[in-house]
Chains A and B, each alone.
Chain A
Amino acid sequence: MIGTLIRRETLDNLMTFRFAAAVFIMLLLVVANTFVLITDYERRLASHNEAVKMHQRQLQEKITYSAGAVRVDRPPNPLSIFNVGFDKRLGNEVRISHGSVPSLWDANMHESANPFMDMFASMDIVFIFEVILSLLALIFAYNAFAGEYESGTLRLVLTHAIGRGEILVAKYISAMLCLIVPLLMSLLLATILLTTSASISLNNNDFLRIGGIIFTSIAYLSVFYLIGLLISAATRRTSTALMSSMFIWGFLVLVYPNVILTVTPRPEAPDALRTSAFNQIESIWDTFDRERKHYLATDDFPGEDWGYELKGWGSRGAYFLDNARTLSYTYRSTMDFEGFGEEDEPKMPHAQKHFGFLGAQTIDAADRTWLIRKPTLEEIFIQPANMERIWLKLSPVGLYDAATQAWAGTDLLGIRDFFHDARQYRQSVISYFYDNKVFESRQWFSGDKGAADWSGLPQFSFQRDDININAKRAIPDVCLLLMINVVLFIIIFLIFVKSEV
C-alpha cells in the first residue's frame, strides 16, 4: 500500500511545473556559477604558484643565511568552489623565521591585483543551495496536506485501511525523491566540470568530502521540507500555508543570518588581557636584550657592537619588531656582506661565536613568547568569533554553512591547520640550522667564502588533513541538522495523527 502511495505522490510531484522550474533554475545557476568559480580558482592558483616561485627566487638570491627570509604559501583549496569559507579571506603567506613562531595573525596576502574588487560579494555553490533548495523545499511542501484537506482527497485516502504514519512517510519520501533529483543533477554537473578542468586535481578524499557536502545538503533540504510540511499540516489552508512558508523562509534565510550579529551584544574587547600578555612578552624580550648585551660586554672581544665593527662591503641591520594588537614581538638582525678587508679577519671567530649564541637565544625567546601568545590570541580573537558562529547556528542555514565549510576544509580550523604545519616546518628549519651549525657559520653573515646553501633546506608542503578530520569537524553540525529533522518529523506526526479530517 505504501508503495502505491509513494508512486502516486512522486508522479504527482514530477508532473508539476514547480519540478521543471526547480530543475531548470538549479542547473542554470549552478553551472553558470561553477564556470565563474573555476576561473576564479584557476586565477588564485596561478597567483599562488607565482608567489611560491618568487619567494624561492628571492631566497636563492640571498647570499647570507641571516638575510634570507623563508616564506611559505597556502595553496587555494579546490573545494572552495563549494564553500569558500575563509579560503580567500585569511592570509595566505607567512614568514618562517627562527625569531618568531608563525601564526594566522602574522600572515600576509599575496598582492591582489585590485583589492577594490572585493567589494562585490563572492558566491559559492553552497550559497546557491542555501537560498534555492530551501525555497524549493517549501514550494513543494506547502500544499502537501493543506491542498488535500481542501480538496478532500485526504478523507478519501483515509477511508482505506491505511495508517496516518504511512501517508506521512509516503509524502515525505516521494517529495524528497523529487527534490533530490535537481540537487544531485546540479552537484554532479559541478563535479564533472571540476574534474574536466585541467588545473584541478581531485583525489579520493576530495570525492569523499564532496559526498559529505551532498549528504549535508540533503539533510538541509529535508529540514526545510519538514518545516513546510509542519506549516501545511498546522494551517490546513493552502493560501495561509503558502504565506507563512514564505515569511518563515524570508526570516530564516534572509533576515536571521544577516541581522542576528548586529543584535547580539558585541563582546567587549579584552584590552586588559591583551595589555598584560603584551607586557609579559615585552619582559621576555627585555631579558633577551639584557643577556645579549651582557654577552657582548663580557666576551673576549672589546666593544659592545653586535656587528663586531666589521667593515666589509654590504649592509647590516638589527631591530626589534613588535605589534601590540597581534601581540607579536621579535628581534631581527641581518648582515649581508660580500667581502671583508684584511683587518676584519681576526674578528670573525668572535662574531661567529656571538651569532651562534644569539641564534639559540632568539629561538628560546620566540618559543617562550609563543607560550604566552597562543592562549591569549585564542581568547582575544577566536573565542568571540566562535560565539558569533554559535549565534548563526541557531538557524539551519548557519548549521548547513558551517558543516559544508568543515567538509570542504575552508573553515577556520582548516585554515589554521596550515599555520600548524608552518609551525612544524619552522621546527624542522631550526633543527636543520642546528644540525648544519648554520648560526655559527660564516655564511650566516657573509657570502665571501661561499654563499649560503639554500638547497639543503627542508621543503614545505601543506597536506590537507585526511577525510577523518573533516568528518570529525562536520559531524556535530550534521548531527544537529539530523536532529532537527527528527524533531520536526515527530511534531508533524503528532499534529497529523490528532488532526480531524
Chain B
Amino acid sequence: MIWHITKRELYDNLNSLRFALTTVLLLGLMLTNAVSHLREHPKRIQKYNEAVIKSLDGLASHTDDSLYMLAQQGPGMLYKKPSPLYFCAEGGEHLLPDVVEGGSPFGYSDNLRGVWKLKYPDANINMKRVGPDVTKADWAFVIGYVLSLIALLFTFDAVSSERESGTLRLMLANSVPRHTVLIGKFLGALISVSIPFTLAVLLNLVLISTSSVVHLDTEAWGRLGIIFFTAFLYTCLFLALGLLISTRVQRSAVSLVILLLVWVTFVVFMPSTLASIASEFSPSISSEPRWKRHNEIQDELWTKYDKWLWTNRTEKETLTAKSEFFTKDAEAEERLNREGLTEKVAQVQYARAITRVSPATLLQHLLESFAGTGFERHLQFVENTQRYARQLREFVADTDKSDPESLHIIGVREGMTKKKILPETVPKFEDTLDFNKDFNTRAMELLLLALFVIVLLSGAYLAFVRAEV
C-alpha cells in the first residue's frame, strides 16, 4: 500500500511545474559549480606545487650544507595541500592561512643565531580587494540553501491541499492506516526531490572526473558518498518539517508562509546572528599578556646564559650553554605561538558550537570536514605540521647521535656532526587527510542531524494521527 501512495505522489510531482523548475535550477547550479572548479583548481594546485618545490629546495640546500644548518634553519614553509573536493565546500578557505612557518631562527647578532620554531600566521584579511563580496556556489550552498528550500516547496501542501480538496478524507475512508499515508507521502516527495538532485550531482561529477586536471581517488569517492548521504539526510529533515507544518495547518498558503519564515530564520539568519552573539559573549583576546610573558622568559634566559653567549670559546661548557639557550628560547616562543593560536581557535570553536542549532550550519560543518576544507581541516593541518616538527627534530638528534665524533650539542656548529647527510633520509613534510578521524569527529554532528530528522518525522506522524480530516 505504501508503494501505491508513493507512486501516486511521484507521478503527481513528476508532472508538476516545481519538478521542472527544480531540475533546471539544480542542473544549472551544479554545472556552474563544476565549470568554475575546473577553471580554478589547476591554478590552486600549481600554486601549491610551486610553493612546495621552493620550500623543499630550501630544505635540500640546508641539508647539503650540514646537519647544523638543518638544525638551525628548519624545514621552511609548510604548505596545506588543497583538497580535490574543494567544489563541495569552500569553507572559508580564502580566509584561512595555507601555510605554517617552520624557520626564521632569531638572529641575536651577526654570528649568534638561534634555532627554528613553528609560527602560525593569522587569518588573512584581504584589505586590497575592492570588489563585492561573494559566496562560492559550492555544494554546501546548493544543498544548504537551494535544496532545503526546494524540499519545503515539495511538501508544504502535501497534506493541507488534500484536506482542502477533500481527497484526504476519500483516501482515509479506505482501509489505509494513517502512517502508511504519511510514509508514502514522505517517500514520494523524497524520491521526487532526489531525482533532479542526483541528476545534477551526476552531471557535476561526470564533468569533474572526466577532466584531466582533477584526480579523484578512492578515498575521495568515499568522501563524496558520505557527502551525498548527508545531503540526503538534510533533505529528509526539511521534508519532514514540511509534512509536520502541512499537517498541523488547515490551509496550504498558511503552511507555506510558516515554512518560509522558519526556513529563513534557521537557514539564512541563525548561523551568522548566533556567531555574532557568541563572539560578543566570549572573553576578548589580547596578545599583550602573552608578549609580557614572552619578554619575562627571555629576560630570564638572558641573565642565566649571558656570560657564555658572547664568547667564541669552543669548550664544551660554552657550547652546551649556547645550545640550551637557543633551544629554550625557541621552545618558549613556539609554545607562546601555540597558545595564541589555541586561544583564538577556542573562541571560534565556541561560536561554531553555538551555531550548530541551525541545521544549515550542521550541514556546512559536515560537508567541510568530508570535503577536506574549512576550519577543522586547518586545525588538522596545523597538527600535521607539529607532528612533522617533532619528527624532524628527532631526526636531527638521531643523526647526530650516530656519529661518535660529534659532541652531540644541537644548535651550535662546533657541537654537531660534520658528516654529510643524505638528502633522501631527511623526512619531508606531507600534508595528509585522515578519513577515519574526520568521520569520528563528525559522527556526533551526523547523529544530531539524524536526530533532528527523527524528531520531526515523529512529530509529523503524531500530528497526522491526531489530525481531524
Q: Chain A residues in contact with chain B, CB under 8 A?
A: 17-18, 21, 25, 29, 32-33, 36-37, 39-40, 86, 89-91, 104-105, 107-109, 111-123, 128, 131-132, 135, 139, 143, 238-240, 242-244, 246-247, 250-251, 254-255, 257-259, 261-263, 325-326, 381-382, 384-385, 388-389, 392, 412
Contact A17 B254 (CB under 8 A): yes
B107-123 vs A, CB cutoff 8 Å, 1 = contact: the mask equals: 00000000000000011
Q: Which of B95, B127, B285 contacts A113 (CB 8 A)?
A: B285
A29 in contact with B285 given A115-B122, A381-B128 (CB within 8 Å):
no
Q: Quick check: B260 and A120 within 8 Å, CB to CB?
A: no
17 contacts between A and B (CB under 8 A): A21-B257, A40-B276, A89-B129, A105-B128, A113-B286, A114-B347, A115-B123, A116-B345, A123-B269, A132-B264, A135-B260, A135-B264, A242-B256, A250-B146, A262-B136, A381-B128, A382-B130
Beta-carbon nearest neighbor of B345 in chain A: A116
Which B residues touch A392, using CB under 8 A? Answer: 132
Q: List the B residue with the shortest CB-CB distance to A135.
A: B260
Task: Name A117's contact: one of B35, B96, B279 (CB within 8 Å).
Answer: B279
* B36 on interface, CB distance cutoff 8 Å: yes
Q: In the complex, what distance in Å separates the CA atom of A89 from the CA atom of B276?
A: 16
Q: Is B54 on the interface with A (CB-CB < 8 A)?
A: no
Within 8 A of A (CB), among B15-49: 16-18, 21, 25, 29, 32, 35-36
CB of B123 within 8 A of CB of A119, answer yes
Tell me if B's interface is mostly helix, strand, loop or mixed.
helix
Known: A254-B145, A262-B36, A382-B130. A120 touches B351 (CB 8 A): yes
Instruction: Assess whether B446 is interfacial by the CB under 8 Å rule.
Output: no
Known pairs A114-B285, A115-B123, A116-B348; A258 contacts B135 (CB<8 A): yes
CB pair A263 B32 closer than 8 Å: yes
Q: Which residue among A18, A119, A244 has the maximum number of chain B CB atoms within 10 Å of its CB?
A: A119
Contacts of B145 on A, CB cut-off 8 Å? Answer: 254
- Given the complex of chains A and B, what is the CA–CA distance between A381 and B122 in angstroms? 24
Considering residues B36, B145, B253, which has the most beta carbons from chain A within 10 angstroms of its beta carbon?
B253
A118 with B32: CB separation less than 8 A: no
- Size of the B side of the interface (Cβ < 8 Å), in residues, is 64
Q: Determine the distance from Cα of A112 to Cα of B347 in the docked complex, in whole angstroms.
A: 14
Is B134 in contact with chain A by the CB < 8 A criterion?
Answer: yes
Bound Cα distance from A267 to B119, whole angstroms: 35
Bound Cα distance A261, B254 (Å): 36
Chain A hits for B135, CB < 8 A = 121, 258
Q: Measured between alpha carbons, how far is A86 from B132 in the docked complex, in Å?
A: 9
Is A25's CB under 8 angstroms from B264's CB? yes
Is there an interface contact between B130 and A104, defined as CB atoms closer than 8 Å?
yes
Contact B273 A32 (CB under 8 A): yes
Given contacts A118-B123, A244-B21, 17 further A-B contacts (CB under 8 A): A17-B254, A18-B257, A91-B127, A105-B128, A113-B285, A116-B347, A117-B275, A120-B351, A121-B272, A128-B269, A139-B256, A243-B153, A255-B29, A255-B137, A255-B146, A258-B141, A259-B32
Given contacts A109-B127, A116-B348, A388-B131, contact A251 B276 (CB under 8 A): no
Set A128, A132, A262, A326: member contacting B137, Cβ < 8 A: A262
CB-nearest residue of chain A to B251: A17
Checking A120, A143, A247, A382 against B21 with a beta-carbon cut-off of 8 angstroms, the contacting residue is A247
What is the CB-to-nearest-CB distance from A204 to chain B, in angstroms, rounded to a whole number?
Answer: 30
The interface centre, meaning the residue of A116, A254, A261, A382 with most chain B CB atoms within 10 A of its CB, is: A116
User: Nearest residue in A to B340 (C-beta to C-beta)?
Assistant: A114
Contact B127 A123 (CB under 8 A): no
Interface residues of B in 243-266 (CB under 8 A from A): 253-254, 256-258, 260-261, 264-265
Bound-state Cα–Cα, A25 to B263, Å: 12
- Looking at B25, B145, B279, B345, the one whose CB has the most chain A CB atoms below 10 A away is B279
Q: How far is the CA of A247 from the CA of B347 in the complex (A)?
A: 38
> Are A117 and B21 interface neighbours, CB within 8 A?
no
Question: In the bound complex, how far is the Cα of B144 from the Cα of A250, in angstroms?
Answer: 13
**In the complex, which of the residues A36, A123, A262 contacts B134, with contact meaning CB atoms closer than 8 Å?**
A262
Cβ-closest chain A residue relative to B257: A18
Interchain CB contact under 8 A, A36 and B276:
yes
Which are the 7 A-B pairs with shortest beta-carbon distances?
A120-B275, A385-B131, A115-B123, A119-B92, A262-B36, A259-B137, A91-B127
Which of A29, A109, A258 has the most chain B CB atoms inside 10 A of its CB? Answer: A258
> B375: CB under 8 A from chain A?
yes
B357 to chain A minimum Cβ distance, whole angstroms, is 14
Does B32 contact A121, Cβ atoms closer than 8 Å?
no
| Chain A residues whose C-beta falls within 8 Å of the C-beta of B344 in the assembled complex | 114, 116
Which of A112, A131, A262 interacts with B264 by CB under 8 Å?
A: A131
Partner of A118, one of B29, B35, B125, B261: B125
CB contact under 8 A between A29 and B125, given known A254-B146, A254-B149, A385-B131 = no
- Across-interface contacts of A91 in B (CB, < 8 A): 127
| Bound-state Cα–Cα, A242 to B259, Å | 14
Inter-chain contact B137/A247, CB cutoff 8 Å: no
CB distance from A304 to the nearest CB of B (A): 24
Q: How far is the CB of A284 from chain B (nearest CB, A)?
A: 23
A332 vs B277: C-alpha distance when bound (angstroms): 44
CB distance from A131 to the nearest CB of B (A): 6
Q: How far is the CB of A245 from chain B (nearest CB, A)?
A: 10
A122, B348: Cβ atoms under 8 Å? no
Question: A120 touching B141 by the CB < 8 A rule?
Answer: no
Partner of A120, one of B133, B265, B271, B286: B271
B347 engages A117 (CB within 8 Å) = yes
- Nearest-neighbour CB distance to chain B for A366, whole angstroms, equals 20
Asked if B284 CB lies within 8 Å of chain A CBs, one says: yes
